[in-house]
């Protein structure tokens, strides 16, 4: 009987050492994956906006609708870069502006969902003892999918009389990062966002 208990515990320890893969290990409040998903989604949204008709004009940019967003500073910086590259000058004085551009963010968040083909963690008490252990989750195929979603809206008005000039409604973008586990201990990832190696530069969208 003692040999049986020893064998069961040995199997459980073996699974614990080989079958556990936790992709979300971070030393900061927000992981690099989460931040990359969100910033890449924002960059793709902004890159898709066309302001060529306002090239050569001076704009006052109103970011007051971004006040509740955690990454508002980065959204502002990315939008500034895109406007400059579109040939639009930026001013902080409405008297010197030809147009007013208002930027709003409807969605700026991540989601995650997990699929597992296998067995969940199974707690097992040892009969006639106070000892218990748990057989860890066993995954023949597991997918942890994380997505970043961004929705931006833009309104352009005349700076002098506040007349409507143009708008971009519900400009949407989504980014994906997947962790896979196949046959217990073969992890890999699939994604549509870039991670630069040391000394490399990623290809930006704006």
* 28 has pLDDT over 70: yes
For the segment 54-75, what is each residue's pLDDT rounded down to a tens digit? 999 999 999 999 888 889 999 9
45, 69 Cβ separation under 8 angstroms: no
Q: Please provide the DSSP assignment of 43-102 as one string.
A: HHHHHT---GGGTT-EEEEE-GGGTT-TTHHHHHHHHHHHHHHTT-EE-S-GGG-SEEEE
Which two tokens mark 126? 């040892």
For the segment 122-161, what is each residue's pLDDT rounded down to a tens digit? 888 888 788 888 888 788 899 999 999 999 999 999 999 9
Q: 132-135 and 89-90 as β-strands: parallel, antiparallel, unpaired?
A: unpaired
Which two tokens mark 86? 């579109």
Percent pLDDT > 70 in the chain is 82
Confidence of residue 200 (pLDDT cuts 50, 70, 90): low
Which residues are paired to 123 by β-bridges?
A: 134
Q: What is the pLDDT, as a whole number, of residue 136?
A: 81
* 21 has pLDDT over 60: no
Please name the residues in contact with 31: beta carbons below 8 A apart, sequence gap of 6 or more. 24
For the segment 76-114, what is each residue's pLDDT rounded down to a tens digit? 999 999 999 999 999 999 999 999 999 999 999 999 999
- Cα–Cα distance for residue pair 86/74, rounded to 1 Å: 18
* 9 has pLDDT over 80: no
Q: What is the pLDDT, as a whole number, of residue 174?
A: 95
């Amino acid at each position: 009987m003692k040999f049986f208990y020893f064998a069961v515990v040995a199997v459980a320890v073996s699974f614990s050492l080989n079958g556990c893969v936790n992709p979300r290990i971070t030393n900061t409040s927000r992981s690099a994956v989460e931040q990359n998903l969100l910033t890449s989604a924002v960059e793709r949204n902004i890159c898709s906006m066309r302001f060529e008709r306002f090239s050569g004009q001076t704009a006052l940019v109103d970011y007051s609708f971004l006040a509740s967003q955690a990454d508002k500073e980065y959204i502002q910086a990315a939008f500034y870069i895109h406007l400059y590259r579109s040939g639009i000058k930026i001013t902080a004085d409405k008297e010197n502006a030809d147009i007013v551009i208002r930027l709003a963010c409807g969605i700026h968040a991540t989601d995650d969902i997990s699929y597992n083909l296998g067995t969940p963690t199974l707690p097992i008490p040892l009969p006639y003892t106070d000892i218990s252990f748990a057989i860890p989750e066993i995954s023949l195929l597991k997918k942890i999918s994380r997505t970043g979603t961004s929705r931006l809206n833009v309104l352009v008005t005349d700076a002098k009389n506040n007349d409507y000039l143009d708008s971009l409604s519900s400009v949407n973008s989504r980014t994906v990062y997947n962790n896979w586990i196949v046959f217990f201990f073969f992890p890999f990832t699939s994604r549509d966002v870039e991670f630069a190696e040391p000394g490399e530069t990623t290809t930006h969208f704006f």
